[in-house]
Structure 1
Amino acid sequence: MYSRTQHPLRRTPHKDTHALPDWSKLSRNDAVTVLRPDGSAVSGHIDMIAVDRSVFWMIQDAGLGRIMICSAESPIVIKAGNAS
């Protein structure tokens, strides 16, 4: 039948490309700690999460307000109760 060939203009991923974090298990009201690339950490609970899981808003602990966490910034998100 037909054989597939690679498209000559298709780009291959760059070696330094980082995979997006898997936030598929996150949901509203989850308690999380976010470790940012600059070394800072924030904790609180998820208020809203985008359908594509690329961004979420969290209400910080201790009344520090609501912030947006974006996957493009490569944070590490740890759900409360998870060891990893």
Structure 2
Amino acid sequence: MDPANWGWNVQGDKFTLIMMDNNPAPNILLNRIHCNCSAQCNTLRCSCKKYGLECTGACGSCQDGNCDNMNQASILDENEDCF
């Protein structure tokens, strides 16, 4: 596999990343995969809830423990792995 075909510049034995101006995904997808709610995410104003998704670690302020749209079991599992 040629690294030059996968976003890298190859100069001798050195690789440098080619920076892109494009987003990693379409804006409509980027806007749907996380919310930035400051409340409990229990209404359709929460974009995660609106599209039937649970809030995740990518979400904003709702991660402060006041989110009603999060799977509590997965949070506990993640915390157990840290110890």
If the TM-score is normalised by the length of the shorter chain, which range does it land in? Answer: under 0.3
Q: TM-score, normalised by structure 2?
A: 0.23
Higher strand share: 1
Higher helix share: 2
Q: Which of the pair has more CA radius of gyration?
A: 2
Higher RCO (Cα < 8 Å, 6 or more apart): 1
Q: TM-score, normalised by structure 1?
A: 0.23
